[in-house]
Structure 1
Amino acid sequence: MDVVISATFVGPKVAFTGVEEPEAHLTVFHTQMMLSEGSDAVHCKLFMSTLTGTALEWFVSLSDGHVTIFAQFSTLFREQYIVNRAPPPISYDLFDVRQYQGESLKDFLNKLHTKDKDMMVHAFRNGILSGPFSESLIRCHPKTFCEIRCQAVAHIVAEGEVTEKRISIAPVRPRGPSRPQPMRVHEAMTEKKAQGKQHPY
């Protein structure tokens, strides 16, 4: 607590109220502190400043001298808010993941999460909608999820280019010289009568 932090030092712009996911908060904190060369004590003090609400109340309730290093602080923080952690997806639940009608391929890809890459390959093929991309998977038969992802990225890029072309304004065909409209029968008879009156025999 006695460490002095320079007034020009820009601290992390992140807050933890007690309901967020602790690991995600630690990740954001570490990312924002990467450019800092502060000591372990600076990390502890700045991490304390990111706590608000019930999380700050929890920290204040700790006995004096309870936190000595940042690694210990991180462990205490994780243990206190372990119930906030999202449960890891069970592999067989992946087969319930489906691509909805109108859902982009990119969004569908982001829904699949597991360390079992072989399971992700089967789950992806099982959940994707029938269409040009699913047909390309049948033809190419990728064996790994990395190959599927690379093929999906190429498909997404190509799909985006096609969409841009569709929404672009097509050039207007220049009009040719206007043709004289055909004279109607009534108008032709009226003109003949008028000519007869102007030039009587």
Structure 2
Amino acid sequence: MMFMNKESDPILCRTFPTFLDGAALIWFSNLPEGSISNFDELANQFIKHFAASKIYVHNSDYLSTIKQGPNESLKDYMTRFAEATNEIPNVNLEVHLHALKSGLRSGKFQESIVIAKPKTLAEFREKATTQIEIEEF
């Protein structure tokens, strides 16, 4: 909508803050009076100031960095891993499974996975669910 009125800088500059809230509105309110001369300058300043806030989308390589903590339950690890996976578009299921197994801490469950060699996420989740039930009991 803002760019449809491209010809009218004053309207754009006055309308812009009505779409802001939180930190963006505070930033805008703290701009020195007369420091912006046109909408393109306002837009560029806004982008420069909030560029670090850009949402970063991980790729499937990120999954290999997720490791089960020394005191982290399997349930918490699986939940944290699932949340990370949900942020990655089009995750390859084989990469997903490999990273999930590789992130397990050493112990009886990890050893059982090495022996059982689940070939699908469903197989892995079935074994994990059984282990989680044991841990919670």
TM-score by structure 1 length?
Answer: 0.37
Match of 1:90 among 56, 59, 70: 59
Identical-pair percentage:
31
Q: Deviations over 1:15-35 (max 9, x none)?
A: xxxxxxxxxxxxxxxxxxxxx
Q: C-alpha distance in 1, partners of 2:55/2:76?
A: 19
Partner of 1:155: 131
Q: C-alpha distance in 1, partners of 2:94/2:121?
A: 7
Match of 1:107 among 76, 85, 99: 76
Q: Deviations over 1:125-179 (max 9, x none)?
A: 2111111111221222111123212221121011111xxxxxxxxxxxxxxxxxx
Q: Which has the higher helix share?
A: 2
Structure 1 residues 86 and 53: CA distance shift in structure 2, 3 A: closer
Q: C-alpha distance in 1, partners of 2:117/2:124?
A: 9
Q: C-alpha distance in 2, partners of 1:135/1:147?
A: 15
Q: Deviations over 1:38-75 (max 9, x none)?
A: xxxxxxxxxxxxx8546789xxxxxxxxxxxxxxxxxx
Q: C-alpha distance in 2, partners of 1:137/1:152?
A: 9
Structure 1 residues 53 and 129: CA distance shift in structure 2, 3 A: closer
Structure 1, gaps ≥5 residues long: 1-50, 58-79, 162-201
> Which structure carries more relative contact order (alpha carbon 8 Å, separation 6+)?
2
Q: C-alpha distance in 2, partners of 1:94/1:150?
A: 20
Q: Secondary structure at the match of 1:98?
A: coil
Structure 1 residues 86 and 148: CA distance shift in structure 2, 3 A: farther
Q: Which runs of 4+ in 1 moved over 3 A?
A: 51-57, 80-86
Q: How does 1:24-103 map to 2 (within 5 A)?
A: 52-53=21-22, 86-103=55-72
Q: Partner amino acid for 1:149?
A: R
TM-score by structure 2 length?
Answer: 0.52
Q: C-alpha distance in 2, partners of 1:106/1:82?
A: 35
Match of 1:116 among 92, 101, 115: 92
Q: C-alpha distance in 1, partners of 2:51/2:93?
A: 26
Q: Secondary structure at the match of 2:130?
A: helix
Following superposition, the deviation at residue 104 of structure 1 comes to 1.3
Larger-gyration structure (1/2)? 1
Q: How many residues align?
A: 91
Q: Secondary structure at the match of 1:156?
A: helix
